[in-house]
Amino acid sequence: IFMEKIYNNSEKQESQDHTLATNLKRIRLEKWFTQKSLSEISDVKYTVITKIEIWAIREPSVYTCLKIAKALWISVEELIWEI
């Protein structure tokens, strides 16, 4: 039972991580931002944005998410959760 709980929690975490990557790319493209322009406006490194989108960074800091959300004119919740 313990291992099942760990597995279920890791699946949930992976789903949330993937949601962040998917939401970031979708919203960025809807607002006609390139990764580079979003990087410049949000003051988040270009490499960080690209790595979040390809799921290489699975848990960016809250501060990073806040800066990206602010640049996109959305809430952090819209960025990280499945809506």
Which contiguous run of DSSP H or E holds residue 44? none
From the CB of residue 68, how many other CB atoms can be counted at a distance below 10 Å?
27
Instruction: Return the pLDDT at 17.
Output: 55
Q: What is the pTM of this model?
A: 0.78
What's the angle, vertex CA 31, arms to CA 27 and CA 32, rounded to 5?
115
The amino acid present at 2, given as its one-letter code, is F
pLDDT per residue as tens digits for the range 32-73: 999 999 999 999 999 999 999 999 999 999 999 999 999 999
Residues 55, 21: contact at Cβ < 8 Å? yes
